[in-house]
Amino acid sequence: SEQLARNNMLKQKGLQSETDNASAKEDGTKELEFAKSILQYISALQHVGQADVRASVVGYNTLLSGMARLSNELRPDMPQKAEQLLNEMIDLSEDSNTVPDVTSYNAVIKAWG
């Protein structure tokens, strides 16, 4: 929290160092996007008839929880992305094992936090 406040102050003054910028980019966003692409691939396989591959509520909840953790002043887009993913879950729930549960909704609420 103190580091975040310091980074915000330096950023506003245009004094944030390259190492601080690099660490801000290494907040887990890249890994989160990779995990989301894997889940989308699994969903695509499921839609083309690969019955042995299924997306699950656990995979979606993992992504939603990660988005909730990344939600802060530096990532104001995460709550919208979490809500969009929840809506994808709801849309897919008619065809698969991805019915959102209390963990899903709590993660989105935490993202808006």
Q: Which pLDDT tens digit goes with each residue over 52-109?
A: 888 889 999 999 999 999 988 778 999 999 999 999 999 888 777 789 999 999 999 9
Query: What does R_g of the chain's alpha carbons equal in angstroms?
Result: 17
Distance of CA 22 to the CA centre of its chain: 20
Q: pTM score > 0.75 for this model?
A: no
Burial of 16 (0-12, 13-18, 19+ CB in 10 A): middle
Q: Percent helix, strand and coil across the chain, each rounded to 5?
A: 70, 0, 30
Tell me how far apart the 2 most distant CA atoms of the chain are, in Å: 55
pLDDT at 61: 95
More confident residue, 19 or 103: 103
pLDDT at position 73: 77
